[in-house]
């Protein structure tokens, strides 16, 4: 479904995946759980584009629900994978970049462990390492924003021309609106707080979170 012109959310995948469409190529943000590759490729096809049009896969963080289908999509498209150095290392080793704490919502935890168990295909390391403040030539400039806290190498991505911020799991959404990274999945809560402040200061009009619905008219809706 189209969020704004040329920015789409891919339906039917777990952990939100977003697609930025330009004439010269496509950019995917996060790649769902293992087994979501087909849905991602079908969606590219539904837009009348070829798998080989996918040029980049940007990774917010190396949790299984965000990198589970990286290897499948990469193999089918030839896209290059971009992440922070910390998350790249975790992807190379097929693990999360931080320990997952016990407790919390038992269902979420069981799901997480199940996904981990079937996480046989390692995503592999990134092809390109990203650092804070870097600009990528996507829709007039996509800014890499370091938002560590949920994980030690977490990144968000900001399209300033469109006013669209992709937060990964540093900010997620539920029926009540935007929320901080869930405590039980958080590596460092204080750093999440700093990350939220940085993100709120960007002036984004639309927030595309790693989980939950996209939030439009986002000013003033960032979590406290």
Residues in the site for Zn ion, rule: CB under 5 A?
A: 15, 65, 169, 210
CB of 210 to Zn ion, least distance (A): 5
Whichever of 74 and 154 has its CB closer to Zn ion, that residue is 154
With 0-12 / 13-18 / 19 or more C-beta atoms within 10 angstroms meaning exposed / middle / buried, residue 196 is buried
- Is residue 106 within 8 Å of residue 126, measured between CB atoms? no
CB of 63 to Zn ion, least distance (A): 5
- Kindly provide the residue ranges of all beta strands, DSSP E only, lying in 33-187, ordered along the sequence: 54-58, 80-83, 128-129, 135-136, 142-146, 155-159, 164-168, 171-174, 177-180
184 secondary structure, DSSP code: G
CB of 16 to Zn ion, least distance (A): 9
Q: Which residues pair with 185 in a beta bridge?
A: none
Whichever of 112 and 222 has its CB closer to Zn ion, that residue is 112
Whichever of 96 and 162 has its CB closer to Zn ion, that residue is 96
Whichever of 65 and 87 has its CB closer to Zn ion, that residue is 65
CB of 15 to Zn ion, least distance (A): 4
Range list of H helices, 78-221: 85-93, 106-117, 189-200
């Amino acid at each position: 479904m189209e969020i704004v012109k040329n920015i789409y959310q891919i339906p039917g995948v777990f952990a939100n995946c977003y697609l930025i469409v330009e004439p010269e190529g496509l950019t995917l943000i996060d790649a769902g759980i293992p087994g979501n590759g087909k849905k991602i490729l079908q969606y590219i096809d539904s837009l009348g584009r070829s798998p080989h049009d996918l040029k980049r896969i940007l990774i917010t963080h190396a949790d299984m629900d965000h990198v589970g289908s990286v290897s499948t999509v990469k193999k089918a498209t030839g896209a290059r994978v971009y992440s922070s150095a910390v998350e790249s290392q975790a992807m190379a080793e097929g693990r999360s970049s931080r320990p997952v704490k016990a407790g919390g919502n038992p269902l979420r935890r069981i799901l997480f462990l199940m996904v981990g168990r079937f996480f046989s295909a390692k995503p592999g390391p990134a092809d390109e390492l990203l650092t804070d403040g870097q600009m990528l030539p996507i829709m007039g400039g996509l800014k890499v924003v370091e938002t560590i806290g949920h994980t030690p190498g977490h990144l968000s991505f900001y399209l300033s021309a469109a006013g669209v911020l992709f937060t990964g799991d540093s900010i997620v959404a539920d029926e009540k609106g935007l929320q901080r990274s869930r405590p039980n999945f958080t590596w460092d809560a204080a750093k999440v707080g700093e990350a939220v402040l940085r993100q709120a200061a960007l002036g984004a009009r639309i927030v595309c979170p790693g989980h939950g619905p996209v939030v439009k008219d986002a000013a003033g809706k960032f979590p406290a």
